[in-house]
Amino acid sequence: MRIAVVGATGLVGQKILDVLEERNFPVSDLYPVASERSVGKEVAFKGNKYKVISMEDAIQIKPQIAIFSAGGSTSLKWAPEFAKVGTTVVDNSSAWRMDESKKLVVPEINACELTKEDKIIANPNCSTIQMVVALAPLHKKYKIERLVVSTYQSITGTGVKAVQQFEDERAGLDGEKAYPHEIDKNCLPHCDVFTDNGYTKEEMKLVNETRKILKDDSIRVTATAVRVPVVGGHSESVNIEFANDFEVEELKQLLSETDGVIVQDNLDENEYPMPKYSHERDEVFVGRIRRDYSNPNSVNMWVVADNLRKGAATNAVQIAEYLAKHELV
Ligand code: A2P
């Protein structure tokens, strides 16, 4: 496969290169793309150095797949240009996710819907991906009516600038700020920008993307997204109300049989998911699974995943793998 990675110098872009390499994706030619200021810089892949090229040059090459992780405005402008020359774009930004003509794909759930006609495929938001991987089998079996989600999101989700701010603060340096407040030794109930309804965009992504992926607009979702000074991954407290009742043990069993999920739930051994240990893992970890005694048919769980991997790079590469395997590009 001739494959372009757009945003190859960014945190997610770098992770995409790592994941392509680790999973031995059949790359015949690699084209790293970034902004004009990075053209000519080198990135490493499979022990070789590759020069960063411009968007225009990458389009001329007509790669079979372009995995984008360079922000929403870049995707809005450039993804259609790649699509025009026949490239299939897997886009990590929020630009196309809620577009009715575009599919929002988590491979374990809905890659089977992809066809050759899908030229721009949206990768969901990191917080949504890890949650729906765990929710999809539960929705099928017990029918979800309402979700109350609180997230504890890693600074890596904001990109290189945020990690730099965190490191500067830790070292007592006064550098550039990615957040409106200090992030070290702090929690910011503020991920992405605020919208007119008082929620942040990140919170509304959890609402809208979850419904789109689970194909059920009747699911009521409310979310609070919080940025925490953590590097390894995102954590989520998820309260789920089902239409039908369940047995906790049966629900745990169902999750433990779910593709991409690892149940870590052994209270005697203090075993539960934590971002430090989800770091560099591709799976979604679920634990603290317990009945919510305050409400009928309800359960609480704690869901953790590496936001740069399953929340972004791994999910995108899994989509590319599906496209390659089923000869859709
Ligand atoms: P660059 O390094 O040249 O700025 P992160 O989210 O970690 O900050 O990474 C964002 C990625 O998106 C980087 O690779 C960045 O390249 C790339 N990028 C930003 N703006 C553009 C653009 N207009 N065209 C292509 N790539 C872009």
Digit-coded pLDDT (tens) for 293-303: 999 999 999 99
Would you state the pLDDT for residue 34?
98
Would you state the pLDDT for residue 240?
99
CA of 37 to the centre of ligand 1 (A): 9
Contacts of 187 (CB under 8 A, 6+ apart): 152, 226, 227, 228, 229
Residues with CB under 6 A from ligand 1: 7-11, 13, 34-35, 37-38, 55, 70-71, 74, 159-160
Would you state the pLDDT for residue 21?
98
CA of 70 to the centre of ligand 1 (A): 5
Q: DSSP character for 64?
A: S
Q: How many CA atoms lie within 13 A of 64 on its CB side?
A: 16
Residue 297 annotated as lining a ligand binding site:
no
Would you state the pLDDT for residue 13?
97
Phi and psi torsions of 290, nearest 5°: -150, 150
For residues 9 and 219, what is the distance between their CA atoms, to the nearest angstrom? 38
Ligand 1 pocket mutation, candidates 5, 9, 43, 164, criterion most atoms within 8 A of CB: 9
Residue 12 annotated as lining a ligand binding site:
yes
Would you state the pLDDT for residue 16?
98
Residues of the chain with CATH 3.30.360.10: 127-307
Nearest CA among 76, 206, 219, 81 for reference residue 149 = 206
CA of 4 to the centre of ligand 1 (A): 14
CA of 274 to the centre of ligand 1 (A): 30
CA of 107 to the centre of ligand 1 (A): 26
Residue 128 annotated as lining a ligand binding site:
no
Would you state the pLDDT for residue 9?
96
For residues 176 and 168, what is the distance between their CA atoms, to the nearest angstrom? 9
**Of all atoms in ligand 1, which is nearest to the CA of residue 71?**
12
* pTM for the whole structure: 0.97
In 41-163, the DSSP E strands lie at: 42-45, 48-51, 65-68, 88-91, 120-122, 144-153
Any idea which fold 2-124+312-325 has? Rossmann fold (3.40.50)
Residue 291 annotated as lining a ligand binding site:
no
CA angle 40, 13, 179 (to 5 degrees): 105
Would you state the pLDDT for residue 3?
98
Would you state the pLDDT for residue 38?
98
For residues 37 and 34, what is the distance between their CA atoms, to the nearest angstrom? 8
Residue 153 annotated as lining a ligand binding site:
yes
The residues annotated with a catalytic role in the active site are 126, 234
Any idea which fold 127-307 has? Dihydrodipicolinate Reductase; domain 2 (3.30.360)
**Of all atoms in ligand 1, which is nearest to the CA of residue 36?**
3
Which portions of the chain are predicted below pLDDT 50?
Answer: none
**Of all atoms in ligand 1, which is nearest to the CA of residue 38?**
3
User: Which residue, judged by its Cα, is nearest atom 4 of ligand 1?
Assistant: 35
Torsion-angle region of residue 7: left (phi > 0), alpha (psi -120 to 50) or beta?
left
**Of all atoms in ligand 1, which is nearest to the CA of residue 8?**
14
Mean pLDDT of the chain: 98
ipTM, two decimals: 0.97
In the chain, the DSSP E strands lie at: 2-6, 29-33, 42-45, 48-51, 65-68, 88-91, 120-122, 144-153, 220-227, 234-242, 261-263, 284-291, 298-305
Residues of the chain with CATH 3.40.50.720: 2-124+312-325
Ligand 1 pocket mutation, candidates 11, 31, 35, criterion most atoms within 8 A of CB: 35
Would you state the pLDDT for residue 28?
97
